[in-house]
Amino acid sequence: MVKSDQFSITPIVASSSLRTLAYEALKAAITKMDIYGRPDEVRLDERKLSQDLGVSRTPVREALTVLEQEGFVRSEARRGVFVIKKTKKEIVGMIHAWAALESMAARLACERATDAQLKSLREIFPEFYEGKPSEHIDEYSDANIRFHQTIISLGQCEVIQDLSSNLLMHVRGIRNTALRQGERAEKSIREHVQIIKALEARRDDLAERLVREHGLGLAAHVHQYGDYLE
């Protein structure tokens, strides 16, 4: 019997469930808004949200449950759902956890990633490699995030990737803000180059240490200068 291998079936749209759509809409709204800019807590109204999204409360509530689980909102019975403002201490803690996971990913990448994959790290920030990053902060912010995400993906450990991506959503804004303070962008780039070299040389201990110190440096910076968070 002939298998229907020649049929490359379209992947099926499988348009997500309303719950997923609501989740994505809400998460986008939350991460987009500048929580730390405003002094008051933001309250979410289930009924208003379901009206605005054009669905019933059920999928909205399920989406909110997931967001609560991920630490984006907090639900108080008969009081309301509130967008969580992380404290400085919590953010520093998240950066510590991030550093732990990313440094392990770097170690794993040393033994698992191909040369070609490691090379892709250099291509992430070609124009800044020798240039003046402080003049291209916006572009570099994205490249910076992508650099770290790439290292984590090269570790090829799904659990670490999942945990990290969750942490990233919480600290993305902070990372980019810190980059604009002092000479951190230049420092960051120098450290990135050292990390790439260690990875390419397959020096797992060194790569792990450099990634960890890079992360801990950010944590210390936020700890010292992150008072705007509270």
Partner DNA sequence: GAAGAAATATTGGTATACCAGATACCCAAT
Partner DNA sequence: ATTGGGTATCTGGTATACCAATATTTCTTC
Of the pair 64, 106, the CB lying nearest DNA is at 64
Q: Which of 222, 224, 219, 5 is nearest to 100 (CA)?
A: 219
| 51 lines the binding site for DNA (CB under 7 A) | no
- Strand blocks (E) in 43-194: 43-44, 73-76, 80-83
d(CA 122, CA 203): 17
Q: Are 80 and 44 within 8 A, CB to CB?
A: yes
Give the residue, chosen from 18, 124, 160, 207, that forms a contact with a copy of itself under the rule CB under 8 A: 160
Q: Which listed residue (40, 76, 115, 123) binds DNA by CB under 7 A?
A: 76
By CB under 8 A, residue 12 contacts a copy of itself? no
Q: Which of 143, 146, 148, 151 is nearest to 112 (CA)?
A: 151
Going 101 to 102 to 105 to 106, the CA torsion angle's sign is negative
Per CB under 7 A, the list member of 81, 95, 154, 222 interacting with DNA is: 81
Interaction of residue 218 with a copy of itself, rule CB under 8 A: no
Q: How far apart are CA 139 and CA 41, in angstroms?
A: 31
Tell whether residue 17 is a contact of DNA (CB under 7 A): yes
Residue 200 partner contact from a copy of itself, DNA, none using kind-dependent CB cut-offs of 5 to 8 Å: none
- Give the residue, chosen from 24, 58, 190, 228, that forms a contact with DNA under the rule CB under 7 A: 58
Piece in contact with DNA (CB under 7 A), picked from 26-34, 49-57, 91-99, 139-147? 49-57
